[in-house]
Chains A and B, each alone.
Chain A
C-alpha cells in the first residue's frame, strides 16, 4: 500500500530547508508526502485526518519540541487518529525519552540518513496494518 505522510514545521519554527528536503527524499523513497509548511498542532492533526495520513512528521529547530510535540500526539488521540508521529530536528538527547513517553514514536537528529527514516516508517506502518 502507498504510505502517506503529512509533514509539517512545528509552530512558529523558521527555516524550511530540513522539512522540505526530508519531504523530497521521502518522495524519492516512494512515499506520498503532503507538505503543510508551518502549522500548529490542532491544524496538523486536522490535516492528517483529512489526508488519511499513516504518518505525521514534525520538524522543529526552535526549541518548541517539548511543548508542541506531545500536543500533537494528545490531540491526535483525542480525535481518534492513529497515525505514527515522528519528529526530526535539533533535539537534545535528554529530551528524547520524554518525547517517546509522550507518544512520539521516534526522534531523528539532523544527521539521520533519510533511508533509515524511510525504513523505520515502512516497518512501523506495515506492522500496524498487519
Chain B
C-alpha cells in the first residue's frame, strides 16, 4: 500500500506499468489502486478516437502524440483491439503505427484486448484511464477497436470524441444517417490523399448542418496521417473543444456524471454478485432457477421473489428480528 501511494508521487513508468497490469487483470489489488487514484484524477483531457478499422486511427494517434509531445505535455495512449472469441487471444498491433513514439519519454502507451466486451472498448478501459489521469497525464488518447460500427462506450469515457473515416464514407455515412450525429465532437476525413476527400467533407458538412444548430458545431478535418498533414489544425480544434467544455461547464458536468455513473455501475455489479452468491447458498432459490430454466416458472415473478427475499433477509438480520 505504502508503495503504491509512493508511486503516485514518484510517477515513474515502471510502477505505473505494474499498477496498470493489476487493473487490466482486475486483481484484488486493483481495487486499492482505483480507490487511491479516484481522488487524484480529473485533470486530463480524455480524447476518444473511433472509426472503422483501417481508417488510420493508430497512425493518426501516433502523429497527434508526436505533436503533443513537443508541447511538453505528458501523454497517455490506450489502444483497444479485439479478443478472438474462439481462442481468447488477441493480436495488439496498434503500436506498430506508433514506432516514432518509442523514444519519447513523455508518452506512455497501453494496449488492451476487449476480452469479450462489445462496446468498442475493453471493460477495464475506464479504470486504466483513471489511473493514467491520476498519474497526471495531461492528455489521454483512447483508440477504440473500430469494428465498423459506431462504438458507444467511448462516449462514457472521453471528453472529446473524434470520428475518423476515409474518403467515400460509405458505412460511416449510413450510421450517421441513422441519426447518431451526436457521437462526434470532431470529424476527421483521413487518407485525404485518396480521391473523393472533398466530396466527403461536403457530405459531412451537409449532415452537420441538417442535424440542427448546436452550441458546439463539430468541425470537419481533412488529414493525411501518413504525411503528418492536417495534424496541427486538428490539435488546434481539439484544444478549442476543451476550452468550450470548460467554458460551458460541461467539463465539470461530464466528470460529475462519470463519477455517478461509475457509482451506479459499481452498485449494479456488486448487487449482481451478491444476488448470485445468495442464490448459490440457498437450495430453495436454486430450485426456483431450475424451474425457470425448464420453463415451469416465469422469470418475472421469480426475479421479484428472489430480490425481495434477499432484502427481507438483510432487514431481519439488521434489526435482529
Interface residues of A (CB under 8 A from B): 1-2, 4, 23-24, 26-39, 43, 46-47, 49-52, 79-81
Known contacts: A2-B115, A51-B17. The answer to whether A28 contacts B103 by CB under 8 A is no
Q: Are A43's CB and B102's CB within 8 A?
A: yes
Closest Cβ of chain A: how far from B85's Cβ, in Å?
12
- Cβ-closest chain A residue relative to B20: A52
Q: Are A39's CB and B92's CB within 8 A?
A: no
CA distance A49 to B99 in the complex (A): 16
Contacts of B91 in A (CB 8 A): 23-24, 27, 33, 35
Closest Cβ of chain B: how far from A44's Cβ, in Å?
9
Checking B83, B95, B108 against A34 with a beta-carbon cut-off of 8 angstroms, the contacting residue is B95
Checking B13, B20, B89 against A30 with a beta-carbon cut-off of 8 angstroms, the contacting residue is B89
Q: Are B18's CB and A52's CB within 8 A?
A: yes
- Cβ-closest chain A residue relative to B109: A50
Contacts of B14 in A (CB 8 A): 49, 79-81
B87 located at the interface, meaning its Cβ lies under 8 Å from any Cβ of chain A in the complex = yes
Contacts of A80 in B (CB 8 A): 14
Instruction: Report which residue of A29, A33, A50, A80 has the largest number of chain B beta carbons within 10 angstroms of its beta carbon.
Output: A50
Task: A2-B113, A32-B89, A37-B96 are known; give 4 further A-B pairs, CB within 8 A.
Answer: A2-B25, A24-B91, A33-B90, A49-B13
B257 located at the interface, meaning its Cβ lies under 8 Å from any Cβ of chain A in the complex = no
Q: Are B13's CB and A27's CB within 8 A?
A: no
Q: Are A50's CB and B99's CB within 8 A?
A: no
A-B pairs with lowest CB-CB distance, top 5 = A52-B21, A27-B89, A43-B102, A49-B17, A37-B96
Checking B21, B89, B109 against A26 with a beta-carbon cut-off of 8 angstroms, the contacting residue is B89
Contacts of B255 in A (CB 8 A): none
Checking A24, A27, A31, A36 against B96 with a beta-carbon cut-off of 8 angstroms, the contacting residue is A36
Closest Cβ of chain A: how far from B108's Cβ, in Å?
5
Interface of B is mostly: mixed
Write out, one digit per residue, whether chain B residues 76-104 have a CB within 8 A of any chain A CB (1) or not (0).
00000001100111111101100100110
Closest Cβ of chain A: how far from B127's Cβ, in Å?
13
Contacts of A28 in B (CB 8 A): 84, 87, 89
B191 located at the interface, meaning its Cβ lies under 8 Å from any Cβ of chain A in the complex = no
Contacts of A31 in B (CB 8 A): 89
Closest Cβ of chain A: how far from B113's Cβ, in Å?
5
Known contacts: A46-B102, A47-B109. The answer to whether A52 contacts B90 by CB under 8 A is no
Checking A30, A33, A50 against B108 with a beta-carbon cut-off of 8 angstroms, the contacting residue is A50
Closest Cβ of chain B: how far from A3's Cβ, in Å?
9
Closest Cβ of chain B: how far from A118's Cβ, in Å?
10
- Cβ-closest chain B residue relative to A1: B25
Contacts of A51 in B (CB 8 A): 17, 109-111
B24 located at the interface, meaning its Cβ lies under 8 Å from any Cβ of chain A in the complex = yes
- Cβ-closest chain B residue relative to A39: B102
Contacts of A46 in B (CB 8 A): 13, 102
Contacts of B95 in A (CB 8 A): 34-37, 47
CA distance A14 to B181 in the complex (A): 45
Contacts of B96 in A (CB 8 A): 35-37
Instruction: Report which residue of B14, B25, B108, B115 has the largest number of chain A beta carbons within 10 angstroms of its beta carbon.
Output: B14
